[in-house]
Amino acid sequence: MVNLACPVCGSSVEVPSDSLPGELFECGDCGAQLEYFVDEKNAASLRVAEEVAEDWGQ
């Protein structure tokens, strides 16, 4: 497991070390839906998942 910071509340979220980019996790503290993300330098982080039902206003 690796601990990554929740971008919403800042608490650490445990994710399996074999997670794939795009996998979704839920922050146990604030309940935010978080997407596992790996940048071009292979650094893992979490970002807020896009809500499917969101109205983009376009």
Binding site for Zn ion (CB under 5 A): 6, 8-9, 27, 29-30, 32
Place of tokens 């146990």: 28
Distance CA 20, CA 24 (A): 9
Distance CA 58, CA 39 (A): 28
Nearer to Zn ion, 1 or 30 (CB): 30
Six-digit token string for 32: 């935010």
Q: How far is the CB of 27 from Zn ion (least distance, A)?
A: 3
Min dist CB 15 to Zn ion, Å, is 13
- Nearer to Zn ion by Cβ, of 4 and 27: the residue is 27
